[in-house]
Amino acid sequence: MPASLELPLSRQVAERLPRNAVPALHANFFRWLEAGNPAFAHALDAGDGPKPFTVSPLFLSRDWASFRITLLQEGLLEMLEAGIRARPEVDILGCRLPILADDLSIVAAEYERLLTDAACDRQITLQFRTPMSFRSAGMDYPLPDPELVFDSYRRRWNTFAPAHLTIPEDWLDWLRRSVAVSRFDLRSEPMRFPDGLQIGCAGKVQYIVVGAAASDDDAVAVLNCLADYAFFCGTGRKTTQGMGQTVRLAGWSDDS
């Protein structure tokens, strides 16, 4: 079951924290999982392949601070909630911040409903709240190519959704000949990691379905389903380390 948790913190303390607190937030996530299910937390940390979670950086606005955890696998939400109840705080470099439990926001979905309720919009706008990039042909590729973007969602979907909802490989053939970038407002933006600087792109992009294939409602519905799923799975690489936080916008606006 995909789920998103927005965890609010005291801004007064959070704004004095280091610019990149993601490693500490990532560690807190695993401490909560260990409190909820130690064996599962250890197996998840040691496992290979796509991870069933993302962790955002700290988001600061005028009045509040928060960070976000998303989950892609059945049962994870219950484990995480149990861990948060047991330890309702985050520890960032020795600075302990209480979770403002009354303002904690949880958005959950079901894989089946994401697919069956998907719209058939021919224009899709995504916003990358944090820098996103891909690893392609042994190089970093920080551009939102339609195939790279939507296939990254498809691969995560096929890993964690029930087997009967698998999106087949041949859907990518439709994507390649049918989906193009129609407009964008992007900027390059760095994120610093222990092993160096990662350059990604942030901002928004609009995709459009073109040509005769636009009449294929089933394929368009899959595209819309994956665009909705992006809110939970993130885009590209290092999504467990703060990159690729993504939201779908209702449409293009110069103010969004």
Longest alpha-carbon distance in the chain: 58
Would 162 be classed as within a structural domain?
Answer: yes
| 21, 121 contact by CB (below 8 A) | no
| 135, 141 contact by CB (below 8 A) | yes
Whose CA is closest to 66, among 131, 21, 118, 1?
21
Would 254 be classed as within a structural domain?
Answer: no
pLDDT digits (tens, 9 = 90+) for 103-151: 889 999 999 999 999 999 999 999 999 999 998 878 889 999 999 999 9
Q: Are residues 230 and 189 in the same domain?
A: yes
Q: Check which CATH number belongs to the domain holding 12 and give it.
A: 3.30.70.1890
Would 75 be classed as within a structural domain?
Answer: yes
Would 255 be classed as within a structural domain?
Answer: no
pLDDT digits (tens, 9 = 90+) for 50-103: 899 999 998 877 767 789 999 999 889 999 998 998 888 888 877 788 888 778
β partners of residue 91: 96
Say if residue 54 is exposed, middle or buried (CB neighbours under 10 Å; 0-12, 13-18, 19+): buried
Is-above-0.85 flag for pTM?
A: yes
SS3 state at 253: coil
Q: Are residues 96 and 122 in the same domain?
A: no
DSSP 63-107: S-EEEEEEE-STTHHHHHHHHHHHS-EEEETTEEEE--GGG-EEE
Would 177 be classed as within a structural domain?
Answer: yes
Q: Are residues 85 and 115 in the same domain?
A: no
